[in-house]
């Protein structure tokens, strides 16, 4: 669930948005009702609803469907009374934090509700926040949530099945997977007797019975099923609608076969001469997304995993929300957590999934390394949806990434910064923080690392060279290697370059002040334009001064040669005339 700072939300409402359009799974707006007593009961119910899901904030004093400043009615609630009454009305008692906030001269009350390890009821009823509404919780749902919050691993419990219940097909699939392992020790497991192999995978209890995780993987009893839908490019037309059921290992392999058999691939030759076959949906991202759905789903629900496969998009919906502590805003960086720890261990032992905490990283790096959007995660609290939006790979970017050192080639931080800078001239730690899912200090450290001498991908702009927090851009060598993958150069660089080259060719030099006049830009923008031309060796500095308006630039090693033409040169426009006048001002 994406979190927008409250001050930005209030500004949006003041600017014409309605409060209900700004609500989210963690934010709700309320007003004072007919009486303080009724209002506090309503707030207790809303607070319990938040506490039973992911926590959130209640803002009292804002109307839902009124636009602009008229939406702010204000609140007269007293903090101590509000905290006390919410505690009294909830069972077990819920402790919240209440603060006053002034906005546009109106006093609002902000009630901050933490996620609770308990399930809270008001008047004998429990609800949880689903989207922007509060939905009733059944007894079974309450039991599931409580088990998750206590860290109870259902998959490690005794299933009541012995090893004789294992499907022969599942045994064969498991041994085949182990034979393909790059790890010699795991390859040797394929020769073990079945009970010994189950012990190595951690799916056998001390009494010799299969755990629930082992039963899910190896017993074909109809409990594991996937609804696979394949959609062709023509809207609304289905190419496949398969219901796949069997043992867990067989179903995982079958779903991967169906998807991978329908992926289109593009051949790309890397700078080293190697040929890569890149799928419109990267296979490693697909594999991790499917395996994660099996690994982390809630097996206490009978709902199937749903896989929707479009021409260049894959959407996977898995029963069960995120485990406590995991949200869409930290799924990339949060420490590895699973409601099925024993099952996850066995799946990794078979080589189906990455080691703990690496699977989501792999999805991010696989998608961004070929120019696709990062994976999209959404949840309504009862299921998790992963969307991979693919398509033809960005060939210049793919070749460039393939040439990077291995530690950068697979690093999500590096690739997220790189792909952001394909469409934006510069970035900062503040701009990247939500995308990289780290705080600004951590992102600044990432950017500094990427700008370190030797193999720098980015550099600070001249304006922020000595600042505590920098503004960063791609280094010249990276810009040249990425070529057409850099979209802003393709949009505006050609005309800018041409005018500056013509000016230098005519008068022999150019200054930042002339660029400001020619293109009506601020000094910092003029500096960036000239720095970019210097990086690309079209221009060189020709003065001893290194900063300020007196710095002059002349032709560099890659300055375009003059083309002879019988046509007369076009008359200079007003901006160019003014720029020439600026040159006279700068002349000694």
Burial, 206: exposed, middle or buried (Cβ in 10 Å; 0-12, 13-18, 19+)? Answer: exposed
Same domain, 427 and 467: yes
Bridge partners of residue 384, in order along the sequence? 318, 379
Same domain, 497 and 470: no
Same domain, 259 and 308: yes
Q: Specify if 498 maps to a domain.
A: yes
Same domain, 314 and 434: no
Where is the domain boundary, 87, 107, 137?
A: 137
Orientation angle between helical segments 494-507 and 512-519, nearest 10 degrees: 130
- Secondary structure E strands in 299-401: 305-309, 313-319, 376-379, 383-389
The alpha carbon torsion through 408, 412, 414, 415 (nearest 10 deg) reads 100
pLDDT tens for residues 208-219?
A: 999 999 999 999
Please give the DSSP secondary-structure letter assigned to residue 125. Answer: B
- CA–CA gap between residue 342 and residue 157 (Å, rounded): 9
Same domain, 540 and 427: no
Q: The tokens of 406 are what?
A: 């291995």
Same domain, 56 and 130: yes
Q: Specify if 171 maps to a domain.
A: no
Bridge partners of residue 483, in order along the sequence? none
Same domain, 264 and 383: yes
- CA–CA gap between residue 586 and residue 542 (Å, rounded): 13
Buried b (16+ CB within 10 A) or exposed e, 467-491: eeebbbbbbbebbebbeebbeebee
Say how many domains are in the chain. Answer: 4
User: Can you give the pLDDT at residue 549?
Assistant: 66
> Whole domain around residue 533: which residue ranges?
488-555
Residues in contact with 193: Cβ distance below 8 Å, sequence separation at least 6, in sequence order: none
Low-confidence spans in the chain with pLDDT less than 70: 1-3, 233-238, 336-337, 354-358, 489-494, 546, 548-549, 563-588
Same domain, 54 and 114: yes
Distance of CA 228 to CAs 20, 290, 380, Å?
36, 12, 21
Which CATH number belongs to the domain containing residue 365 in this structure? 3.30.565.60
User: Can you give the pLDDT at residue 335?
Assistant: 72
Residues 400, 269 contacting (CB under 8 angstroms): no
Q: Specify if 469 maps to a domain.
A: yes
Residues in contact with 352: Cβ distance below 8 Å, sequence separation at least 6, in sequence order: 177, 249, 252, 287, 291
Which CATH number belongs to the domain containing residue 437 in this structure? 1.10.10.10
Same domain, 378 and 242: yes
Distance of CA 188 to CAs 182, 342, 570, Å?
11, 21, 77
Where is the domain boundary, 485, 506, 536?
A: 485
- CA–CA gap between residue 99 and residue 321 (Å, rounded): 30
Q: Specify if 581 maps to a domain.
A: no
Main-chain dihedrals φ then ψ at residue 277, nearest 5 degrees: -105, 105
Same domain, 360 and 478: no
Where is the domain boundary, 137, 158, 193?
A: 137
Q: Specify if 143 maps to a domain.
A: no
Q: Specify if 168 maps to a domain.
A: no
Q: The tokens of 302 are what?
A: 């009978």
User: Can you give the pLDDT at residue 233?
Assistant: 67
Which CATH number belongs to the domain containing residue 102 in this structure? 3.30.950.30
Same domain, 494 and 385: no
Please report which helix (H) or strand (E) contains residue 107, including its range. Answer: strand 106-113
154 SS3 class: helix
For the chain, give the longest Cα–Cα distance.
Answer: 95
Buried b (16+ CB within 10 A) or exposed e, 178-191: beebeeeebeebee
Q: Specify if 210 maps to a domain.
A: no
Q: Specify if 38 maps to a domain.
A: yes
Q: The tokens of 193 are what?
A: 């007797």
User: Can you give the pLDDT at residue 365?
Assistant: 95
Same domain, 129 and 55: yes
Question: Whole-structure pTM over 0.85, yes or no?
Answer: no
DSSP class per residue in 46-77: HHHHHHTTT-EEEEESB-SS--GGGGB-----
């Amino acid at each position: 669930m994406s979190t927008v700072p409250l001050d930005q939300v209030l500004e949006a409402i003041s600017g014409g948005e309605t409060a209900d359009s700004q609500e989210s799974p963690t934010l709700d707006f309320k007003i004072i009702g007919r009486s303080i007593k009724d209002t506090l009961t309503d707030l207790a119910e809303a607070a319990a609803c938040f506490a039973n899901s992911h926590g959130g904030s209640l803002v009292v004093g804002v109307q839902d469907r009124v636009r602009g400043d008229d939406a702010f009615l204000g609140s007269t609630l007293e903090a101590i009374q509000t905290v006390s009454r919410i505690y009294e009305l909830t069972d077990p008692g819920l402790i919240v934090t209440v603060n006053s906030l002034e906005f546009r001269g109106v006093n609002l009350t902000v009630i901050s509700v933490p996620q609770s390890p308990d399930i809270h009821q008001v008047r004998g009823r429990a609800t949880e926040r689903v989207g922007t509404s509060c939905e009733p919780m059944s007894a079974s749902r309450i039991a599931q949530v409580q088990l998750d919050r206590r860290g109870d691993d259902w998959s490690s419990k005794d299933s009541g099945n012995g090893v004789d219940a294992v499907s022969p097909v599942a045994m064969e699939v498991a041994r085949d997977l182990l034979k393909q392992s790059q790890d010699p020790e795991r390859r040797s497991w394929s020769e073990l007797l079945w009970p010994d192999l189950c012990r190595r995978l951690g799916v056998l209890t001390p009494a010799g019975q299969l755990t629930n995780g082992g039963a899910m993987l190896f017993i074909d009893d109809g409990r594991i099923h996937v609804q696979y839908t394949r959609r062709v490019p023509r809207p609304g037309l289905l190419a496949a609608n398969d219901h796949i059921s069997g043992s867990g290992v067989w179903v995982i392999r079958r779903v991967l076969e169906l998807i991978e058999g329908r992926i289109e691939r593009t051949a790309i030759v890397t700078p080293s001469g190697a040929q890569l076959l890149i799928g419109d949906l990267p296979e490693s991202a697909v594999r991790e997304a499917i395996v994660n759905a099996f690994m982390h789903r809630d097996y206490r629900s009978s709902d199937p995993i749903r896989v929707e496969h479009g021409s260049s998009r894959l959407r996977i919906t898995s029963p069960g929300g995120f485990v406590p502590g995991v949200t869409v805003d930290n799924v990339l960086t949060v420490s590895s957590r699973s409601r099925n720890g024993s099952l996850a261990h066995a799946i990794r032992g078979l080589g189906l999934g990455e080691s703990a905490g690496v699977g989501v990283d792999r999805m991010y790096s696989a998608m961004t390394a070929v120019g696709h959007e990062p994976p999209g995660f959404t949840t309504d609290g009862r299921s998790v949806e992963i969307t991979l939006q693919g398509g033809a790979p960005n060939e210049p970017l793919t070749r460039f990434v393939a040439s990077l050192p291995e530690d950068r080639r697979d690093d999500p931080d590096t690739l997220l910064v790189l792909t952001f800078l394909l469409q934006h001239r510069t970035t900062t730690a503040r701009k990247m923080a939500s995308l990289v899912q780290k705080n600004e200090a951590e992102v600044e450290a990432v950017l500094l690392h990427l700008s370190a001498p030797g193999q720098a991908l980015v550099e600070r702009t001249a304006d922020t060279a000595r600042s505590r927090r920098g503004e960063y851009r791609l280094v010249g060598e990276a810009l040249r290697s990425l070529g057409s993958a850099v979209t802003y150069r393709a949009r505006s660089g050609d005309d800018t370059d041409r005018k500056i080259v013509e000016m230098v060719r005519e008068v022999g030099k150019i200054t930042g002040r002339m660029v400001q006049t020619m293109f009506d830009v601020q000094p910092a923008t003029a500096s960036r334009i000239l720095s970019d031309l210097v990086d690309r060796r079209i221009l060189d500095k020709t003065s001893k001064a290194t900063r300020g308006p007196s710095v002059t630039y002349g032709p560099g090693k890659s300055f375009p040669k003059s083309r002879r033409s019988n046509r007369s040169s076009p008359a200079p426009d007003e901006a160019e005339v003014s720029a020439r006048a600026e040159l006279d001002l700068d002349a000694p």
